[in-house]
C-alpha cells in the first residue's frame, strides 16, 4: 500500500487552477483602441452643422471631413496588417495609437477646413496601423469557443462604436465644453489614446517578424490612387455639378482596380493574397459585409443630417435619438450566439431583410414621429445578430497563418464600404435636400433598403 501525501495548495497551484485572464485583459485594451478608432468614423456626423458654421465649409468639404478619415483608413488597412507581420503587432498597434492620438489633437485645434481634412486623413492612416492588429491577435491568442466569444465582442464593439459616435458627438457638441463647440469630439481621444498605448506596451506580446514576408510596394502604389480616384468624385460630384472629370476619374479608378488584381496575381508576396478568398466563408462574407456597411454608412450620414437640417434638432438631440437603436444593435451583436444553433445560418439574411424593412419605415416616417423611432429599434434588433453572425462565420475557418491577410481584407471592406456609402448616399441626399430633406431621406433610405436586400441574397448563397 502506497501512501501519498497531499500537496498543500499554495499561490503557485492556485494560479495554475485559475484560468489565465491575461488574454481577456489584452482583448479589452485592444477593443478600447478599436472603439476609439471606429468612434471617429461617425462622431463628426452630428457636428457637421457646427463645423460648417465655425469653419465656413461647403457641403463637399463636410463630406471630406467625414470621408477623409475613412479614405486614409481604407487605403492603408491591408498594409497595416502586413506591417504587423513584418515589424511586430505590438510595435504597429502602439505606433498607430500614438499617431491617431496626435492627429486627434491636430483635428481638435484645426483653424480651418483644409487643415481639418488633412488631419482627418492622417488620423485615418494612424488607425489603419492600429486596427488590423486586433483581429490578428484574436486569431493568435484565442481558439475554439474562446475565439468565437472574442469575435462576438469584436463585432459588438463595431456595432456600438458606429452609433455611439453619433451619441457622444451630440452630447459633446451640445455641452459646448469651455465654449469649444465641436472640437471636444476630437480632443476626447487624447487621454484615451495615451491610456491605450501605455497598457498595450505592457500587455501585448512583442512578436518577431515573420520570415519571408515583404511589403508589396507595387500593389500599394496602385491601390492608393485607385481608392482616391473613385471616392473623391463621389464626394465632390454633387457640389461641382458632376463635370466630365468626375466620370473620367471614376473610370480610371476602376481600371486601376482591375490592374491591381492583375498585379496581385503575379507578385511573389502580394499585398492582397487573393488565395485567401478561397477560404470557406471569406469571399461571400466580404461581399455581404460590403453591402451592409455601405448602406449603414449612408444611413448614419443621411439620418443625422435630416434630424438636424430637416427637423431642426440640436446636435445633442440628434445623437440621443440614435441611442436606443445603437444599444439594441450592440446587445444583439454580442448575444446572438445564445440563439439555437440551427438558426445561426439564417441570422444574416433575415437580419438584412429586417433592416431593409426598417429603412423603408424610416422613409415613411421622415417626420420624426413614432414610426421613425420604431424603425431605428427594428434596425438594431435586425442588424445586430446579422452582423455578429456574419463576422464570426467569415473568420472561424481562417487558419492562423492567414490571419493577417484576412484581417486586412475584412477591415478594408468595413471601412471602404463605409466611405463608399457616405459618398454615394451622402451625395444623393445633399443633392435632393436642396428641395426637401424629407424627400431626400425617403429616396436614400429606399436605395439603402434595396442594397440590403441584395446583401441578403448574397448571404443566402453563402
Q: Which three cell numbers stand for residue 120?
A: 482627418
Q: Which own/partner pairs from 228-233 qualify as long-range (CB within 8 Å, at least 24 positions apart)?
A: 228/71, 228/75, 228/253, 229/253, 229/256, 230/254, 230/257, 230/420, 231/67, 231/71, 231/419, 231/420, 231/423
Q: Which of 147, 142, 125, 131 is nearest to 76 (CA)?
A: 125
Scan for cell 475565439, then name that residue. 147
Asked if residues 90 and 200 have their Cβ atoms less than 8 Å apart, the reply is yes
Alpha-carbon span 40 to 166, nearest angstrom: 9
Domain 273-461 fold = Growth Hormone; Chain: A; (1.20.1250)
Residues of the chain with pLDDT under 70: 1-20, 74, 77-78, 159, 162-163, 207-213, 235, 238-239, 315, 395-396, 400-401, 403-405, 407-408, 461-462
CATH number of 22-205: 1.20.1250.20
**Confidence (pLDDT) at 16:** 44
Torsion sign, CA atoms 343, 142, 163, 433:
negative
CA distances from 225 to 138, 265, 408, 446, 454 (A): 31, 19, 18, 31, 28
Q: Do domains 22-205 and 273-461 have the same CATH topology?
A: yes
Condensed to tens digits (0 to 9), the pLDDT of residues 329-361 reads 878 877 887 888 888 888 889 999 999 999 999
Other C-beta atoms within 10 Å of 202: how many?
10
Alpha-carbon span 308 to 76, nearest angstrom: 33
Could you say which DSSP state residue 177 is in? G
Rounded to two decimals, the pTM is: 0.74
**Confidence (pLDDT) at 95:** 93
Q: Which own/partner pairs from 177-185 qualify as long-range (CB within 8 Å, at least 24 positions apart)?
A: 180/108, 181/50, 181/54, 182/44, 182/47, 182/50, 182/51, 182/54, 183/108, 183/109, 184/108, 185/43, 185/44, 185/47, 185/108
- Domain ranges for the chain: 22-205, 216-271, 273-461
Other C-beta atoms within 10 Å of 389: how many?
24
Amino acid at each position: 500500500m502506497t501512501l501519498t501525501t497531499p500537496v498543500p495548495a499554495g499561490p503557485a497551484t492556485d494560479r495554475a487552477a485559475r484560468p489565465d485572464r491575461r488574454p481577456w485583459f489584452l482583448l479589452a485594451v485592444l477593443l478600447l483602441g478599436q472603439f476609439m478608432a471606429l468612434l471617429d468614423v461617425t462622431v463628426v456626423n452630428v457636428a457637421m452643422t457646427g463645423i460648417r458654421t465655425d469653419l465656413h465649409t461647403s457641403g463637399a468639404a463636410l463630406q471630406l471631413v467625414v470621408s477623409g478619415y475613412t479614405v486614409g483608413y481604407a487605403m492603408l488597412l491591408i498594409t497595416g496588417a502586413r506591417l504587423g507581420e513584418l515589424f511586430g503587432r505590438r510595435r504597429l498597434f502602439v505606433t498607430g495609437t500614438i499617431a491617431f492620438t496626435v492627429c486627434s489633437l491636430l483635428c481638435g485645434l484645426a483653424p480651418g477646413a483644409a487643415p481639418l481634412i488633412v488631419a482627418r486623413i492622417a488620423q485615418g492612416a494612424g488607425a489603419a496601423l492600429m486596427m488590423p492588429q486586433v483581429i490578428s491577435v484574436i486569431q493568435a491568442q484565442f481558439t475554439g469557443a474562446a475565439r468565437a466569444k472574442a469575435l462576438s465582442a469584436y463585432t459588438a464593439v463595431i456595432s456600438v462604436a458606429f452609433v455611439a459616435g453619433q451619441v457622444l458627438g451630440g452630447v459633446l457638441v451640445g455641452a459646448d465644453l469651455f465654449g469649444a463647440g465641436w472640437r471636444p469630439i476630437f480632443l476626447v481621444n487624447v487621454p484615451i489614446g495615451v491610456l491605450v498605448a501605455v497598457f498595450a506596451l505592457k500587455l501585448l506580446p512583442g512578436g518577431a517578424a515573420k520570415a519571408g514576408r515583404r511589403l508589396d510596394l507595387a500593389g500599394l502604389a496602385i491601390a492608393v490612387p485607385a481608392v482616391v480616384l473613385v471616392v473623391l468624385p463621389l464626394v465632390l460630384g454633387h457640389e461641382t455639378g458632376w463635370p466630365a472629370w468626375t466620370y473620367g476619374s471614376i473610370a480610371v479608378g476602376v481600371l486601376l482596380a482591375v490592374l491591381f488584381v492583375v498585379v496581385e496575381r503575379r507578385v511573389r508576396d502580394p499585398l492582397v493574397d487573393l488565395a485567401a478568398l478561397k477560404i470557406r466563408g471569406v469571399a461571400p462574407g466580404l461581399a455581404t459585409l460590403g453591402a451592409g456597411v455601405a448602406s449603414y454608412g449612408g444611413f448614419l450620414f443621411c439620418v443625422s443630417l435630416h434630424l438636424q437640417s430637416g427637423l431642426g434638432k440640436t446636435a445633442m438631440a440628434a445623437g440621443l435619438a440614435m441611442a436606443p437603436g445603437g444599444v439594441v444593435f450592440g446587445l444583439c451583436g454580442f448575444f446572438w450566439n445564445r440563439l439555437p444553433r440551427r438558426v445561426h445560418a439564417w441570422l444574416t439574411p433575415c437580419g438584412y431583410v429586417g433592416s431593409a424593412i426598417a429603412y423603408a419605415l424610416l422613409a415613411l416616417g421622415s417626420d420624426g414621429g413614432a414610426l421613425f423611432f420604431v424603425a431605428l429599434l427594428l434596425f438594431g434588433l435586425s442588424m445586430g445578430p446579422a452582423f455578429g453572425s456574419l463576422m464570426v462565420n467569415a473568420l472561424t475557418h481562417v487558419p492562423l497563418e492567414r490571419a493577417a491577410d484576412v484581417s486586412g481584407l475584412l477591415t478594408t471592406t468595413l471601412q471602404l464600404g463605409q466611405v463608399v456609402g457616405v459618398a454615394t448616399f451622402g451625395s444623393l441626399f445633399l443633392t435632393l435636400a436642396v428641395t426637401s430633406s424629407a424627400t431626400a431621406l425617403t429616396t436614400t433610405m429606399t436605395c439603402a433598403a434595396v442594397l440590403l436586400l441584395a446583401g441578403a441574397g448574397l448571404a443566402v448563397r453563402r
